């Protein structure tokens, strides 16, 4: 049985979710303890596994037979290669910190039992994606993650915006998942296996051509949905309607990078087609810049960070598209640290200002919330890739990979410029100057459960670059470092601070007003006009068909016929027993006549 013990890191959070849902709903204190302890157990287990079995080795874990028919064999197993172990540790570790943060953040919420149950469900699902050893189980957990994301975005379901955002996230993800499942089916039919372990060795029989490209693009479609890349990025900014710990854990640090993780897993398939790889690289490249531009004109503190998340994930996607998974995974890890930190700091600000999210209604928070201000600064420097903070090391590796693709290098470095710009804007407006609302005037730091996770993450954001992360990622392309990318990206990142400083140093309202950026390039409007309008038309048509033909003609029509027949026939029931007897006699006579007539012949 000891061989199966690694399953515990997967099953503990599920156990917690079930127990809370079934028994502990009325006892939030116990629910929180169970959920947090389960997450702690998962984290310790992941940590033990991370350092056992050697840095480069894969730990073999017996699989549980699951699906087996006609050429499809999907066992329920765990893939414990270094990549999975690193990711599992990252997920459970960040989740643990967010659990602790949530204890303080949701102290007053009457439904916090439900919140922690859903959080545990998410940890279970996410660990499932990370540890899945074949594409079918991965897809299963992929959907579970979508479900927990839906539940958590809509946690405050009494707010209409939260409900709408949850629906939007779920529906947009459906589109990506549809492509993903088509991709999985394609992999099965082309290569005859869905196991991630056997996949690289079975690619030799690849037929090549457009089929492989289609399969690769299908799998990438899954990434587009979950990792919120263009054109399916519209759900992520809206998902900020959920509680801030959720934004931090799901929509910044872990869940949204599942798409990148999946791409790294199936990279051997993607690499079979240059078209696929080029598409991925350019979608990633374009998505580094566009959200960074949009973020420059947003006023909601969480939405600014959400757009920055889109941009950072795009760096990872671009790196995968360039075929360098090491830097992508490295940036994923570092990003988890500093973006989780930034969101938790934003949560601390929102908590301190009593649910104010507009940065123009804040101001002067640096004096009232010095700790939050400092960690936000640390997170910003890490995000902008200023040495020697964590973001610098991972971004540098990604920029180095673009050295031979000047166009991509230029786009992504300009994105770095704007990232610095909007982050400094956020800090100057929210933390600098003087308070611009009553809430900001009475802002205060939160309790220790809010401070502690931010402290840990701040340390990781500063020192993350010195963690031996790369040793788990196999050979990273050391030596290919082109120094020009380093200097250009650094200069651009630093240059981004300059205009922000001069524009927003003493601003009390936004001196810039760029409608197209405020309107987020009108992608939502485009979808509403074109897609949603057409859908509505189709829906109305179907409704009319249902109302007039099905309900009106078939259902109600047959009812009318039956009623009319009944109305006619009941006239016979006159209640006169002698009339009945007459009819009976007439019947008997006609029967007799009929018998005699046929009997003569």
Partner 1 sequence: MGGEITLGHYLVLSGALFLIGLAGVLLRRSLLVVMMSLELLLNAANLALVAVGRFQGIPDPQVAVFFVITVAAAEAALGLAILVAIFRIKKTTAADQMASLRF
Q: How far is the CB of 563 from partner 1 (least distance, A)?
A: 14
CA atoms within 13 A on the CB side of 373: 18
Q: How far is the CB of 530 from partner 1 (least distance, A)?
A: 60
C-alpha 29 chain-centroid distance: 28
Q: How far is the CB of 562 from partner 1 (least distance, A)?
A: 16
Element (H, E) at 76: strand 72-76
Q: How far apart are CA 509 and CA 421, in angstroms?
A: 16
Binding residues for partner 1, rule CB under 8 A, total 11
Element (H, E) at 561: helix 556-570
Q: How far apart are CA 249 and CA 116, in angstroms?
A: 13
* 214 burial type by CB count under 10 A (0-12 exposed, 13-18 middle, 19+ buried): middle
- Interface residues for partner 1 in 582-601 (CB under 8 A)? 582, 585
Q: How far is the CB of 575 from partner 1 (least distance, A)?
A: 3
**What x/- string results for residues 477 through 496 when contact with partner 1 is judged by CB under 8 A?**
--------------------
Indicate the residue among 576 and 598 with the shorter CB distance to partner 1: 576
Q: How far is the CB of 581 from partner 1 (least distance, A)?
A: 6
Q: How far is the CB of 574 from partner 1 (least distance, A)?
A: 5
Indicate the residue among 54 and 568 with the shorter CB distance to partner 1: 568
Q: How far is the CB of 573 from partner 1 (least distance, A)?
A: 5
Indicate the residue among 515 and 566 with the shorter CB distance to partner 1: 566
Q: How far apart are CA 54 and CA 106, in angstroms?
A: 40
> Taking the CA atoms of the chain, what radius of gyration do you get in angstroms?
30
* CA 295, 298, 304, 307 torsion-angle sign: negative
Indicate the residue among 585 and 592 with the shorter CB distance to partner 1: 585
Kindly report the three-state secondary structure assignment for every residue of 382-413. Answer: HHHCCCCCHHHHHHHHHHHHHHHCHHHHHHHH
Indicate the residue among 570 and 601 with the shorter CB distance to partner 1: 570
Asked if residue 344 has a cis previous peptide bond (ω within 30° of 0), the answer is no
Q: What angle do CA 580, 586, 588 make, to 5 degrees?
A: 100
* 436 burial type by CB count under 10 A (0-12 exposed, 13-18 middle, 19+ buried): buried
Indicate the residue among 205 and 571 with the shorter CB distance to partner 1: 571
522: left (phi over 0), alpha (psi -120 to 50) or beta: left
**What x/- string results for residues 545 through 584 when contact with partner 1 is judged by CB under 8 A?**
-------------------------xx-xxxxxx--xx--
Q: How far is the CB of 534 from partner 1 (least distance, A)?
A: 54
* CA 461, 462, 465, 471 torsion-angle sign: negative
Indicate the residue among 278 and 582 with the shorter CB distance to partner 1: 582
Q: How far is the CB of 22 from partner 1 (least distance, A)?
A: 57
How is residue 143 written in tokens?
A: 């959907």
C-alpha 72 chain-centroid distance: 28
Indicate the residue among 483 and 567 with the shorter CB distance to partner 1: 567
Indicate the residue among 506 and 585 with the shorter CB distance to partner 1: 585
Q: How far is the CB of 577 from partner 1 (least distance, A)?
A: 6
Q: How far apart are CA 330 and CA 202, in angstroms?
A: 28
- Interface residues for partner 1 in 27-56 (CB under 8 A)? none
* Cβ-Cβ contacts under 8 Å for 429 (sequence gap 6 or more): 359, 360, 362, 363, 504, 507
Indicate the residue among 533 and 579 with the shorter CB distance to partner 1: 579
Residues that bind partner 1 (CB under 8 A): 570-571, 573-578, 581-582, 585
């Amino acid at each position: 049985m000891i061989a199966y013990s690694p399953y515990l890191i997967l099953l503990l959070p599920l156990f917690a979710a079930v127990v809370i849902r079934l028994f502990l709903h009325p006892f939030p204190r116990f629910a929180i303890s169970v959920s947090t302890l389960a997450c702690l157990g998962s984290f310790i287990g992941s940590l033990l596994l991370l350092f056992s079995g050697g840095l480069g080795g894969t730990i073999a874990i017996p699989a549980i037979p699951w699906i087996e028919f006609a050429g499809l064999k999907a066992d329920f197993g765990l893939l414990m290669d270094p990549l999975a172990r690193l990711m599992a540790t990252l997920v459970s570790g960040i989740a643990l910190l967010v659990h602790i943060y949530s204890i303080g953040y949701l102290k007053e919420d009457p439904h916090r039992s439900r919140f922690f149950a859903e959080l545990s469900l998410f940890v279970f699902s996410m660990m499932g994606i990370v540890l899945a050893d074949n594409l079918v189980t991965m897809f299963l957990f992929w959907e579970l993650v979508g479900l927990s994301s839906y539940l958590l975005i809509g946690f405050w379901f009494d707010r209409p915006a939260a409900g709408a955002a949850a629906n939007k996230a779920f529906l947009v993800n459906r589109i990506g998942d549809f492509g993903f499942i088509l991709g999985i089916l394609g992999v099965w039919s082309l290569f005859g296996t869905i196991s991630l372990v056997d996949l690289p060795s079975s690619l030799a029989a690849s037929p090549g051509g457009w089929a492989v490209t289609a399969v690769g693009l299908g799998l990438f479609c899954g990434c587009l949905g979950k990792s919120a890349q263009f054109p399916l990025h519209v759900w992520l900014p809206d998902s900020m309607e959920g509680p801030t710990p959720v934004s931090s854990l799901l929509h910044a640090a872990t869940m949204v990078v599942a798409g990148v993780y999946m791409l790294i897993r199936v990279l051997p398939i993607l690499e079979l087609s240059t078209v696929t790889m080029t598409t991925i690289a350019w979608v990633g490249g374009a998505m580094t810049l566009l959200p960074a531009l949009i973020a420059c004109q947003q006023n909601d503190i969480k939405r600014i960070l959400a757009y920055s998340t889109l941009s950072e994930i795009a760096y990872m996607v671009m790196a995968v598209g360039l075929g360098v998974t090491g830097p992508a995974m490295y940036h994923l890890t570092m990003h988890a640290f500093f973006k989780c930190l930034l969101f938790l700091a934003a949560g601390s600000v929102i908590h301190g200002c009593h649910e104010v999210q507009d940065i123009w209604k804040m101001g002067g928070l640096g004096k009232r919330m010095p700790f939050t201000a400092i960690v936000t600064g640390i997170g910003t420097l890490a995000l902008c890739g200023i040495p020697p903070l964590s973001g610098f090391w991972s971004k540098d590796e990604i920029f180095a990979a673009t050295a031979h693709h000047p166009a991509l290098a230029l786009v992504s470095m300009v994105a770095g410029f704007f990232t610095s710009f909007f982050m400094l804007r956020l800090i100057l407006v929210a933390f600098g100057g003087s308070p611009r609302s009553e809430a900001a005037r009475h802002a205060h730091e939160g309790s220790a459960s809010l401070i502690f996770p931010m402290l840990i993450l701040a340390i990781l954001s500063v020192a993350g670059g010195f963690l031996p992360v790369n040793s788990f990622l196999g050979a990273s392309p050391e030596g290919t470092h082109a120094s020009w990318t380093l200097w250009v990206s650094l200069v651009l990142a630093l240059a981004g601070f300059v205009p922000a400083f001069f524009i927003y140093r003493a601003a009390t309202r936004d001196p810039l007003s760029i409608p197209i950026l405020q309107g987020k390039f009108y992608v939502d409007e485009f979808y509403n006009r074109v897609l949603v309008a057409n859908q509505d038309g189709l829906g109305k048509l179907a409704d009319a068909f249902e109302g007039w033909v099905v309900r009106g003609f078939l259902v109600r029509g047959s009812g009318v016929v039956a009623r009319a027949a009944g109305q006619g026939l009941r006239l016979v029931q006159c209640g006169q027993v002698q009339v009945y007897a007459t009819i009976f006699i007439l019947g008997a006579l006609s029967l007799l006549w009929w018998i005699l007539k046929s009997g003569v012949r």
